[in-house]
Amino acid sequence: MKTKFTILREKNHHEVLVSFQDHWVVLLRPFFEYGLGWFIYFFLFLSAYIFLDVSTMVSGIIILFSTLLLFLFNHRFFTTLIDWEISTWVITKDLVINFESRLYTRNDVIFISIHEVHEIEKKVRGFWSNFLDYGDVHVNVPAAPYPIVCSDIPHPDIFINLVEALRDNRLQEDIDIQALTKVYGNRLQFLLSRV
């Protein structure tokens, strides 16, 4: 038996204003681990070549182990890249939505109603966070017992200004959406146009 759902909504109710991923700096660790994996692989492969004179069985086990280890490092690297591309932040006129995905293990969607945002603050700590302009944004919503933390947000000042402008209904006065789409981009419009 099929169930049909009808959603009544206003026109452009969930119009995507901007969408973006976490800051690119979160990809530095996976790239470092990827390079480390190849270094360990070559080190173990050369060690297996040295042990070849002593025992072919030990050499074979080292080669098998190094290949398995390289496979795991490569798998982790590419799944992290896919997760970063799939996970995204979307800001509509009414919601801040975080699509947080990890391949096969996590598929979280967090909705924050902009009109229920009580306080919003940024925490940018450290030289690199300030230099590269990324940080955490803490959103206080009356219904939540603790602040909702938005981690690794690029350009947190612009993010906060947009959310506050939407909350206070002063979008046209303070924020230029065309300028924001140049900063953040405008992805996933097709996803929310069907909601």
Per-residue pLDDT of the chain (195 residues; tens, 9 = 90+): 444 434 444 455 577 778 788 888 888 999 999 999 999 999 999 988 888 888 888 888 999 999 999 999 999 999 989 888 888 888 888 888 888 877 777 788 888 888 888 888 888 888 988 898 888 888 888 877 888 888 888 888 888 888 888 888 766 554 555 555 555 554 444 444 444
Say which residues have a Cβ less than 8 Å from residue 23's Cβ, sequence separation at least 6: 132, 134, 152, 153, 154
For residue 65, which phi and psi values (nearest 5 degrees)? -65, -40
CA 166 to chain centre: 23
Cβ-contact 150, 89 below 8 angstroms: yes
**pLDDT digit string, tens, across residues 43-82:** 999 988 888 888 888 888 999 999 999 999 999 999 989 8
Write out pLDDT tens, residues 96-113. Answer: 888 887 777 778 888 888
Closest CA to 147 of 109, 121, 166, 181: 121
CATH number of 16-22+88-192: 2.30.29
Distances (CA, A) of 171 to 14, 59, 159, 166: 15, 66, 13, 6
Annotated domain spans of the chain: 16-22+88-192, 28-83
